[in-house]
Each structure stands twice: as structure tokens, then as C-alpha cells.
Copies of this chain bind each other. A is one copy, B any other.
Amino acid sequence: MSANRQFKLAARPVGMPKESDFSLVEAPMPVPGDGQVLVQTAYLSVDPYMRGRITGVKTYADPVNIGDVMVGGAVGRVVESKSPNFAVGDFASGQWGWREHAAVDARALWKLDPKAAPVSTALGVLGLTGMTAYFGFLEICKPQPGETVVVSGAAGAVGSLVGQIAKIKGCRAIGIAGTDDKVEWLTKELGFDGAFNYKTTSDYPAKLKELCPQGIDCYFDNVGGAITDAVFPLMNVFGRLSICGQISQYNLEKPELGPRLLAFVLVKQLKVEGFIVSRFQSRWAEGIAQMGQWLREGKLKYREDIVEGFENTVKAFIGMLQGDNTGKMLVKARD
């Protein structure tokens, strides 16, 4: 097996990405240098932030250019090691992107303990996703017991964790999701106090008022757009809004207008803050330890939506952008 399949960006997507925006190519098997290991991809992560990386606009990170291998988090098994820190058979997570094998500096890898938790969780609850929920909610919203927390994209990888953390912190958790099955999962399995399907609800403000009779103290936003427009007027004085994602806007071919929201920010003295999880990187170990403890205590549940086969990575990515997944969307590249 000397060929190494990988996905390269073939075209800048216009609106929702298409399969033809990526090309599946074969490259030679990489050879690890000193201090490197050769990893064989087991799981690939597909995440909303990737949509921003392929637009060609520099934001907080360099864009992926046409012809570049697609970026992203992955978990894999070490098949060759030139580092004293990794042995063949070890599992590791890292940022080697959409490829079946990669030669990676050992210092850029995080060693996983398959006995402590399934290795795939390094891309979810115990990885970027979990840290996004943990730090992005707790540090920015600073939720207090008894407060009402609303989460958009609540059945997604991050949102489903935010609602559960809100419950752990003694808050009332209300979720917004896009199917009745997701709503049922949130309320029956994850312990959300209420949830609604935004695709079958016409009057968001009325539904939110019904589910949040005391108003909204914290809002964790993955979605933006009309859902978020409905939240602002219901925020309580000194409310906090953590802006994690705006997935409703990522695939618009041209920006849409919306109601002006700053008057609510003013009269309710709201604090609205955006974040990229990397700003909390120095506290990663703390977040992983706490999320791991809550998992072991049974206080956190998670679901993985797994697409089989490396060649289906683009399908999985597009499906995630369309909201097909419940919980964390992953690609299983190999057993």
C-alpha cells in the first residue's frame, strides 16, 4: 500500500459546497523524518469552521488555497515512529487534515489512551468540540445557577455539550434544533428543559417566550440569522451572548440583511462576545480533565454520527453543513 489518498480543494465553493469543489488524489506514502511519526488516519473530523477556511478570505487563520490538502483534526494509529515519545500502535490526535496517512512532528500530536475513552472522543467531547463548548460557554457566558440558557444548533457537536454543561451548572437549558428527533434527543436523553424544531415553528419569539418565562440570561449561538434575531429581544438585563458560530450565514451566496440588534445590547446592557477556541489553548488540560470527569460520572452524554469510508469525507462535510448530523459528525477512515 504505497498510495496515500487525500482530499484537495479544487474550487472555491459558491454557496453550499459541492463534491466537485474537492478532488480525491493519490500521493506517495510520506516518510517520517527525525522526530516525526507516520500516522494512519482512523477518524477525521468535519466541522462548521472549515467552511470559513475555504472561502479564500483570511480571518483568524490562513485560508486553504486551491490545490492544498484540506485542513482538519484527525485521530490515527502510529505505524512508524522516529520519535522516542511514540511507539508503533500508539494512538494520537492532531491536525493533519483530510489524508489517510501523514508524517507529523511528534510535538504536534496529542497521545491518546484508548483505555480511558474511545479514541474518537479526541475529536469530540474530549477534543476541539468539547473545549469549544467548555470554555466558550463557561468563560464567556459565566452562567449562574437558576439562569436560563438558550443554545442554537443545540443538537450539534458543540451545542449538545453546552446544554448539558448548563444543566451541570444548575441552569435551565433550552435548545433549538432542526428535526423532531433532535428535539426529542435533547429533552428525553440529554436533560434539556425544553427545545423546539425551528423548521416546523413559525413564530420563534412566541415559542422562546413560552419556553423561557423568566427571559434569557445566556445565549450560546452556533447559528445566527433569524433564530438569533428572535433571541436578542428576550435577553435579560446584563445577559451574556457567546458567539461560537453563524452556520446559517456561511453558505449564503450574498450576505442577508437583518434587524439591527445593538439597541437591545444598549438598553439591556448585554455583553456579546465572539471567540475562537484556540484562545483558550493554554488551559486545554484543565478542560479535558473536567470534561473527562463529567463523562465518567455520567453527567455528560455524547453521540457520534459516523460516516464510513475516507472517500465519503466530502459527503460528510456537506451533510454536517446541512444539519444531517445529531451530535459529532465523524468520518471513519479505517477500523
CB pair B274–A228 under 8 Å, yes or no, is no
Considering the complex, which residues of chain A in the window 2-50 have a beta carbon less than 8 Å from any beta carbon of chain B? none
CB pair A274–B266 under 8 Å, yes or no, is yes
Tell me, in angstroms, the Cα distance from A52 to B264 when the chains sit together.
12
Stretch at the interface among A68-76, A163-171, A189-197, A244-252: A244-252
CB pair B60–A267 under 8 Å, yes or no, is yes
CB pair B258–A269 under 8 Å, yes or no, is no
A273-B269 in contact given A237-B60, A257-B258, A258-B258 (Cβ < 8 Å): yes
Q: Count the copies.
A: 2
Q: Please, which residue of chain B has its CB at the minimum distance from the CB of A238?
A: B279
Tell me, in angstroms, the Cα distance from A246 to B256 when the chains sit together.
22
The reply on A109 being an interface residue by CB < 8 A is no
Closest chain B CB from A24 CB (angstroms): 29
The reply on A295 being an interface residue by CB < 8 A is no
Q: Please, which residue of chain B has its CB at the minimum distance from the CB of A224?
A: B262
CB pair B59–A267 under 8 Å, yes or no, is yes
CB < 8 Å neighbour of A221 from B246, B262, B274, B279: B262
The reply on A142 being an interface residue by CB < 8 A is no
CB pair B224–A267 under 8 Å, yes or no, is no
CB pair B271–A243 under 8 Å, yes or no, is no
Considering the complex, which residues of chain A in the window 226-251 have a beta carbon less than 8 Å from any beta carbon of chain B? 228, 237, 243-246, 249
The reply on A318 being an interface residue by CB < 8 A is no
CB pair B267–A52 under 8 Å, yes or no, is yes
| A60: B residues at CB distance < 8 A | 237, 267-269
Can you list 19 A-B pairs, Cβ within 8 angstroms, ordered by A?
A59-B267, A224-B260, A224-B262, A224-B263, A243-B266, A246-B262, A246-B266, A258-B259, A258-B260, A261-B261, A261-B262, A262-B272, A262-B274, A264-B274, A265-B273, A266-B276, A268-B274, A271-B271, A271-B273
